[in-house]
Structure 1
Amino acid sequence: MDTVHPILVAYDGSPDAELALRWAGEEARATGTGLRVMVVDDVVTSPWGLAVAHHGEEVLAGAGAALTDVMPEAVLETRVGHVMEELLNASESASMVVVGSRGHGRTEDLLIGSVSQHLARHATCPVAVVRPAHTAGSRRIVVGIDGSKTSSEALEYACRRAERTGESVTAIHAWHEHVPSTDVWSSEPRVVDSMPHRQVLLAESVAGVRTDHPDVVLEQEAVPVAPVRCLADASRNASLLVVGSHGLGFFGGLLLGSVSQGVLHRAECPVVVVR
């Protein structure tokens, strides 16, 4: 029988980490998955050698208090080492890694911005980056679609979640419409209408999922707008944005490697990067 790995939360006591902790706790409880909370005492390299800021036990105590009414049976632990190395190693035995969009760190705010970017690129499991939703109470999951395998997996993840939560799902295929070149003989601009092709791609991407998840309210939109901008705009009225870690590339439409990174910066709701 396959082992169900727990959800892993990177926790540092910051407000965004508190949000991530609660989001992960609710996700774990709803799915019957274990929860593992990790605090890393980060090793800092200085001119005088390695130094460690020992604060893990204190921070972990705060995590335990926060989980009392969410998931008191969670496993809490501290590690000493480099944050990224420890989290990536731990991700190998996790079903998902959850982090806040920003946290505490060596400078004024740990760029869990940079931690989330690195995790999204290199973790071996899905990564959730939690921030407050712009529209409180929204019940709409937005999914970026480009016809790639990972975007199909992103849509499947969204629909499984929607079956559980009752949220609706909006599948969006966005692309940058390039300005057509000019015909040198007639001086008339060439017209490139890619909308029919894009609508077919989206319909084919969604068809199988509709059959597998008939109870999910699933809408689809093909939008000729740069993908990061389109998905970031859509996230303003979403409860969750889901994208694949990598897409088909420039000629496939979404550059989801760069799109996933872009929406991590610009989204206005929690983001899940699926692989």
Structure 2
Amino acid sequence: MSTHVVVGVDGSVPATEAVEWAAADARRRGLDLRLVHVGPQWLHEGDAGHCARALEEAAGRARAVADGVKVTTEVLSGNVVEELIRESAAADALVLGSRGLGGFAGMMVGSVSLAVAGHAAGPVVVVRTAGAAGAAGASGHGTVVVGHDGSDDSRAAMEYAVEQARARHARLHVVSAWQLPVFSPYAVAYSGLVEDVVREEQAAARERVTPWRQANPDLVITDEQPCAHPVSALMDAAATADLVVVGSRGRGGFASAVLGSVGHGVLHHVTCPVAVVRPRQEDRA
């Protein structure tokens, strides 16, 4: 069982926000915090000094946000994406800012964060906004939103979302978006079939949430089954959320949920922190 949260640090403002979010998360869930800075494979003296200063400042900020949380730091060298993916293997979650500088040169949604989220061993949280709700214990909306379609990845996302909602004493809101099959606009005779499809899809989505309610009676779990594109549905729900959780891949309504489609769209358009969750290898067995 993982006992720590890892944060990528480079001294940028988004990375600092990621440190604050992760420190608060570690405190809520009783985990340690590990801060890493990934530099070039061959660090010059000036680069090493920058790395050390970035980590020292980040550690100070983390301790200010979450006094009592064990904070460790380490400078790593090598390829940023590869090193962060390697760190994710032993971490409960990996937290990143949406863009960075220095060791995360060019890091913006669509590059390092997308690459890491698509291949990390567990949850990757991308923190986009300044003062993200709940980052330092501030009151937020009190809601965690999760996209769910019954796939392995969305089940892993549900597990992470349940843990987050419980730690935050928040409501868990489950979004099961789906889209109608394409019918000819002249096929009036299909109107009854369309109504049947709507009822069946909504009933199946509601049924998938029932075991989660039964297994977590201490949580308030609400759900909706919008007939809409998954990105649009999650964007709407995210307007009043402190965290949005999605699986890295899906099926049915989330059939295109690979990074670059739904995950890509959510990371680009949702302004609150977003967690992308892949089932760990032991969970896939």
Fold conserved (TM > 0.5)?
A: yes
Indicate if the aligned counterparts of 1:182 and 1:190 stay in contact, CA closer than 8 A: no
Aligned match of 1:73 in 70, 81, 86? 70
Question: In structure 2, what is the equivalent of residue 19 of structure 1?
Answer: 17
Aligned match of 1:83 in 80, 83, 95? 80
**Which structure features the higher share of helix residues?**
2
Structure 1 SS opposite 2:115: helix
Indicate if the aligned counterparts of 1:163 and 1:213 stay in contact, CA closer than 8 A: no
Cα distance in structure 2, aligned partners of 1:105 and 1:114: 15
Question: In structure 2, what is the equivalent of residue 46 of structure 1?
Answer: none
CA shift at 1:28, angstroms? 1.2
Indicate if the aligned counterparts of 2:145 and 2:173 stay in contact, CA closer than 8 A: yes
Distance 1:108 1:28, change over 3 A: closer
CA shift at 1:108, angstroms? 7.6
1:256 maps to 2:254: no
Indicate if the aligned counterparts of 1:173 and 1:198 stay in contact, CA closer than 8 A: no
TM-superposition CA deviations, 1:237-261 (whole Å, max 9, x none):
111101111112xxx1212213122
Aligned match of 1:145 in 141, 145, 148? 148
Cα distance in structure 1, aligned partners of 2:102 and 2:265: 22
Indicate if the aligned counterparts of 2:95 and 2:125 stay in contact, CA closer than 8 A: yes
Cα distance in structure 2, aligned partners of 1:166 and 1:68: 23
Task: Give me the identity figure in percent.
Answer: 37
Cα distance in structure 1, aligned partners of 2:25 and 2:17: 12
Question: In structure 1, what is the equivalent of residue 233 of structure 2?
Answer: 230
Moved more, 136-145 or 122-131: 136-145
CA shift at 1:78, angstroms? 0.6
Cα distance in structure 2, aligned partners of 1:107 and 1:161: 27
Indicate if the aligned counterparts of 1:13 and 1:63 stay in contact, CA closer than 8 A: yes
Instruction: For 2:91, give the aligned amino acid.
Output: A
The alignment's TM-score, normalised by the length of structure 2, stands at: 0.83
Indicate if the aligned counterparts of 2:107 and 2:113 stay in contact, CA closer than 8 A: no
Moved more, 114-123 or 196-205: 196-205
Instruction: For 1:152, give the aligned amino acid.
Output: R
Cα distance in structure 1, aligned partners of 2:122 and 2:155: 15
CA shift at 1:109, angstroms? 4.8
Distance 1:112 1:230, change over 3 A: closer
Structure 1 SS opposite 2:94: strand
Question: In structure 2, what is the equivalent of residue 209 of structure 1?
Answer: 212
CA shift at 1:269, angstroms? 0.6
Instruction: For 1:116, give the aligned amino acid.
Output: S
Moved more, 209-218 or 148-157: 148-157
The alignment yields a C-alpha RMSD, in angstroms, of 2.4
Distance 1:189 1:18, change over 3 A: farther
Cα distance in structure 1, aligned partners of 2:125 and 2:61: 19
Matches of residues 96-115 of structure 1 in structure 2 within 5 Å?
Answer: 96-105=93-102, 109-111=106-108, 113-115=110-112
Cα distance in structure 1, aligned partners of 2:40 and 2:189: 57
Cα distance in structure 1, aligned partners of 2:43 and 2:74: 20
CA shift at 1:13, angstroms? 1.3
Cα distance in structure 2, aligned partners of 1:107 and 1:164: 30
Question: In structure 1, what is the equivalent of residue 116 of structure 2?
Answer: 119
TM-superposition CA deviations, 1:76-124 (whole Å, max 9, x none):
1111211111111111211111101122248985326511111111001
Indicate if the aligned counterparts of 1:95 and 1:125 stay in contact, CA closer than 8 A: yes
CA shift at 1:265, angstroms? 1.2
Distance 1:112 1:87, change over 3 A: farther
Distance 1:25 1:113, change over 3 A: farther
Distance 1:79 1:88, change over 3 A: same
Moved more, 132-141 or 53-62: 132-141
Q: How many residues align?
A: 261
Structure 1: tracts of 5 or more residues without a match: 44-49
Structure 2 SS opposite 1:12: coil
Question: In structure 2, what is the equivalent of residue 190 of structure 1?
Answer: 190
The alignment's TM-score, normalised by the length of structure 1, stands at: 0.86
Indicate if the aligned counterparts of 2:80 and 2:104 stay in contact, CA closer than 8 A: no
1:57 maps to 2:55: no
CA shift at 1:20, angstroms? 0.9
